[in-house]
Structure 1
Amino acid sequence: MDQDTTQSTFNQILKQFPYDDFLRFIADFGVDKYIKKLFVIKLLYILIIAQISKIESLRELAGKVNNNPELQKLLKLDSISTSQLSRRLRDIKSTFWADTFIAVSKATLVKTAAYAHQEPKENKIHIIDSSTISLCLNKFRWADFRKTKSGIKLHQRIQIQNGCTYPDKASLLKSRINLS
């Protein structure tokens, strides 16, 4: 997927983003409890920026935020370190992000359901993307795929219909599956 399509996808998702559900998840999971600086909404925006900018490391992401005064002002962050991002991501349960994804998908499907009935199935396009996410071998031995790394694959299906682009389905699997 090229960068313009990615930005378009994120813009459409953010327009449909269920902020009320997201705030409820924050409260239910307690992800902002005792947090003074990097609230989860700011982390979400930083991760979206990383995705759009095709940033591949937390060090590079921290550098982008720290070297951009306009972005710092927008996020209300004076600075951010790689270790802060790492700790914050480590401490948030994956079920929080899974529930958020499901809420975004549902909100998008509800808003596009009217088009689904009007348009024939052959006018839908599904794009499947598979991305490998590298992990630390010491912490994620169950997901080993190289001698020195662990990893998982995110398989995501994106649906394009009547000018709307949205995630349709996602699944996480080990990067290397032993067939023996």
Structure 2
Amino acid sequence: MNVGKTLFAQVMEFVPWKTFSRIISRHAGDVGVRTLSCADVFRIMAFSQLTWRESLRDIEVCLTANRAKLFHMGLKSIPARSTLSDALNQRDWRIYHALAQRLIVRAKELYADTPMTVDLDVSVYALDATTIDLCLSLFDWAPFRKTKAAIKLHTLLDLRGAIPAFIHISDGKMHEVNVLDFLPVEAGAFYIMDRGYLDFERLYNLHQVGAFFVTRAKSNMNFRRVYSAPVNKDMGIICDQTICLNGFYKSKEYPEYLRRVRLKDVDTGKTLVFLTNNTTLPATMIAALYKSRWQVELFFKWIKQHLRIKHFLGNSENAVKTQIWCAISTYVLIAIVKKELQLNVSLYTLLQVLSVSVFEKTEISCAFQTDDYISETAPNANQLNLFDF
């Protein structure tokens, strides 16, 4: 029997606590705080994520039931609901945003050699946004529609390991394309986007930085063909064209040539038209790149199903953003644990097991062993048979 650290304590060891302390000091997060420091808030929020707690009462009851194990969590006492609520409203959410960014950097380093569905040696990112609906009467700081509130998670997903490289939280009114104004751009990388990001002036800024983009064209796009490359129609490629934009304003927004690839999906029969500024990759690779964009949709689905961001523990903007950044930090932290310990299980399995065994005292690698142990009785055992006549 393992009498060492609990699974929760072992997971927390992968948090860069020294860096986190510097972040807290930089934002003066613990100045004037007597109970429940910024680090304690993160521990409690990580615990609530891993054990699927959905309210302050859930957290308090669960911690009370495990009072004797609080020391192993790094907590001195059970925080009252009011104390935790005040902490979520008062601790600067930027502290947990900075922690998430530090964990993302570490995760990207670990997953740098992870193969992608598309065989490319450069970075490939998928950009998209998802909306989380809120109640307007409770979250009046996040207007969306006349009778509805919402926030948007604008996410740039690194397709190596499905690690979020950039996340921006805005109110529901912010259009997706505006995130291109402050998106960190890496020269030589590919950015895969849907038609919601089709803004030629912003796409030209990406092009000037040296990055590549792949997006969908709109049906009413005004252009003229400059050159048509030979295509293999057996692969579903209808045309591969070099085009330039017509119109005074559009030609000013994107003054250079674009590449237009038209594809017929053999599975659905739908015709898709892609736009890109890359002129060297085969047309089939351009289509494969756009198809890989669905990984960000799967990421949003996974996040909404397995992280506790549907029910918020506070109504203020600071409380909501603190909970979201702690949820993202927990997701990335589990991804780091999986890679560091070389666990051959999915993130789903990892979270499922942790949700019911965070206080178990066993090695993480042993907790996820899938080999079944079968006890065999020796053939010459001296066990008497009661019914042997």
1:20: which partner in 2? 18
Aligned partners of 2:76 and 2:136: how far apart in 1? Answer: 28
Q: CA deviation at 1:50?
A: 0.8
Q: Per the alignment, in what secondary structure is the counterpart of residue 78 of structure 1? A: coil
CA contact (8 A) 2:129 2:152 kept: no
Q: CA deviation at 1:120?
A: 4.9
Q: Per the alignment, in what secondary structure is the counterpart of residue 36 of structure 1? A: coil
1:51: which partner in 2? 49
Matched to 1:168, the amino acid is A
Runs of 4+ in 1 over 4 A off after TM superposition: 123-126, 128-131, 133-136, 145-151, 155-161, 175-178
2:28: which partner in 1? 30
Aligned partners of 2:15 and 2:76: how far apart in 1? Answer: 23
1:1-180 aligned within 5 A: 11=11, 16-74=14-72, 75-113=74-112, 115=113, 119-120=115-116, 122=118, 130=130, 132=132, 134=134, 137=137, 140-144=139-143, 150-154=149-153, 161=160, 166-175=163-172
Aligned partners of 1:156 and 1:61: how far apart in 2? Answer: 29
Matched to 1:19, the amino acid is W
Residues 124-147 of structure 1 deviation map (CA, whole Å, 9 limit, x = unaligned): 997x89573757846x42314588
CA contact (8 A) 1:159 1:168 kept: yes
Q: CA deviation at 1:43?
A: 1.1
Aligned partners of 2:15 and 2:135: how far apart in 1? Answer: 28
Aligned partners of 1:67 and 1:149: how far apart in 2? Answer: 38
Q: Per the alignment, in what secondary structure is the counterpart of residue 168 of structure 1? A: strand
Q: CA deviation at 1:63?
A: 2.0
2:351: which partner in 1? none
Unpaired runs of 5+ in structure 1?
Answer: 1-6
Q: CA deviation at 1:110?
A: 2.6
CA contact (8 A) 2:153 2:167 kept: yes
Q: CA deviation at 1:64?
A: 1.6
Q: Per the alignment, in what secondary structure is the counterpart of residue 35 of structure 2? A: coil
Q: Per the alignment, in what secondary structure is the counterpart of residue 141 of structure 1? A: coil
TM-score by length of 1: 0.66
The 3 A distance-change label for structure 1 pair 129 and 80 is farther
Aligned partners of 2:51 and 2:63: how far apart in 1? Answer: 12
Q: How many residues align?
A: 160
- Worse-superposed segment, 26-35 or 140-149: 140-149
2:212: which partner in 1? none
The structure whose RCO (Cα within 8 Å, separation 6+) is larger is 2
Matched to 1:172, the amino acid is I
Aligned partners of 2:156 and 2:54: how far apart in 1? Answer: 21
- Worse-superposed segment, 69-78 or 17-26: 69-78
More helix by share: 1
Matched to 2:58, the amino acid is E
Q: Per the alignment, in what secondary structure is the counterpart of residue 141 of structure 2? A: helix
Q: CA deviation at 1:85?
A: 0.8
CA contact (8 A) 2:134 2:150 kept: yes
CA contact (8 A) 1:17 1:107 kept: no
Q: What value does the CA root-mean-square deviation take over the aligned residues?
A: 3.6
Residues 102-127 of structure 1 deviation map (CA, whole Å, 9 limit, x = unaligned): 111112223333x15xx35627997x
CA contact (8 A) 2:135 2:148 kept: yes
CA contact (8 A) 1:159 1:165 kept: yes
Q: CA deviation at 1:168?
A: 3.2
CA contact (8 A) 2:57 2:81 kept: yes
Q: CA deviation at 1:69?
A: 1.4
Q: CA deviation at 1:51?
A: 0.9
Aligned partners of 2:83 and 2:153: how far apart in 1? Answer: 24
CA contact (8 A) 1:66 1:78 kept: no
CA contact (8 A) 2:157 2:163 kept: yes
